[in-house]
Structure 1
């Protein structure tokens, strides 16, 4: 049985709620753990993180039993190995558009003989050479590989992408995909874009391709009501990413000030 908590969630088909982390704050990670979130997604694509800050977030996550699924900025083998050496539980790749790209991801994440990742058990992942080599190898093999379908080309190739051995998890990026497909976005909220029939159809295609290849699905949500609707439609797909740390903080602060204004405290 896998000891990687993120892989356990996938294998046991558990309900799991995570969020993208764009603030380099271990305190926010701890709050997420204390309030019942299940995993975090440190975001290298849309943040100013250094590798050392990803390590800090991963350590904070470990303290509250939150595995880390790091969103990379692309298929860069040098950055992939630096993130994996931290000992994170998963890596997640944006804008994957082809079967060849998916194969490259598996190659760079897995050690020989499956892939070409460099071996270095002296790192945090290998407990600084205190972990037996077979355990170090198992930890590497347990790392979850996720891909995001966010482009027109990626959607056209989704069946081939998810057929690549080693891909564990897929997520559709609705906003990026909407731009790539040329859908109108002016004046529309993220919720409006997600409800667009073309995006809904695209999400169904991604889910169908995932089911055909034994790949788990992570779905975007912005409300508990939306989670309920999606679970009713696809009860077997129980992994969700809920907004970002920044959006949740903004909503909480804005809710307080708007209530003060509504009650006439601020003229």
Structure 2
């Protein structure tokens, strides 16, 4: 990248509604990725399965924000063919290492089967399937005081693809209810800088697209803007206006 180039922005949104048509529409609109929010929305394995199918039909990378870091939860999302995981509340390097181990076959703990979608239903063969699985994106959410303090160590863990700042929970960890409070914004600046220095993805959640320039100036390159529900609500309000 030349000195005149600016980092490429990747723009996505959370999907909180279990309808595959939403993923198809977002892919057709040109988004760079979507994140299925299985932490805060009701996605069972069957629903997640059809969401991944929809994403693949429009060549849209689909990440899953998993509800917990259990081995079963991680394996389920990855076997279905998710492009990566967004993992809430990673608060230490030890947690990050455990997380990565559960996503990896080689030197890891992930169980292998050639039959799931990620392995092409057996078509890839073991060598290619293992290589594909071990190259999955893993983004750790920094959203607590402990996470902020451990951000550098988390970013240094081999296999962690990036850091993602969750400002709402971060504010709560400071005893605040304002995601734009000075303490929260300063912690966001520091976490994004750590990710960039480590050569990792620097991500942040934004309520509005208008916030992107502000966070891009802090070093963010991976933006999750609102959700399918907020997009629908804004469209409805615009009609009524």
Q: Shorter-chain TM-score: which interval? A: over 0.9
Determine which structure has more spread, i.e. the larger CA radius of gyration.
1
CA positional deviation for 1:57? 0.8
Structure 2: gaps of 5 or more residues: 1-6
Q: CA RMSD of the aligned region, Å?
A: 1.6
Provide the C-alpha distance between the structure 2 equivalents of 1:110 and 1:117, rounded to a whole number of angstroms. Answer: 5
1:170 and 2:163 equivalent? yes
- Normalised to the residue count of structure 1, the TM-score between the two structures is 0.84
Runs of 4+ residues deviating >6 angstroms: none
Asked if the contact 2:170–2:179 (Cα under 8 Å) also holds between the matched residues in 1, the reply is no
* Corresponding residue for residue 230 of structure 2: 247
CA positional deviation for 1:68? 0.9
Q: How many residues align?
A: 236
1:18 to 12, 16, 25: 12
- Normalised to the residue count of structure 2, the TM-score between the two structures is 0.93
| 1:97-246 → structure 2 map (5 Å cutoff) | 97-112=91-106, 114-183=107-176, 185=177, 193-231=178-216, 233-234=217-218, 237-246=220-229
Provide the C-alpha distance between the structure 1 equivalents of 2:11 and 2:62, rounded to a whole number of angstroms. Answer: 12
Provide the C-alpha distance between the structure 2 equivalents of 1:159 and 1:195, rounded to a whole number of angstroms. Answer: 22
Q: Secondary structure at the match of 1:217?
A: strand
| 1:56-67 → structure 2 map (5 Å cutoff) | 56-67=50-61
Farther off after superposition, 160-169 or 126-135: 126-135
Provide the C-alpha distance between the structure 2 equivalents of 1:142 and 1:59, rounded to a whole number of angstroms. Answer: 20
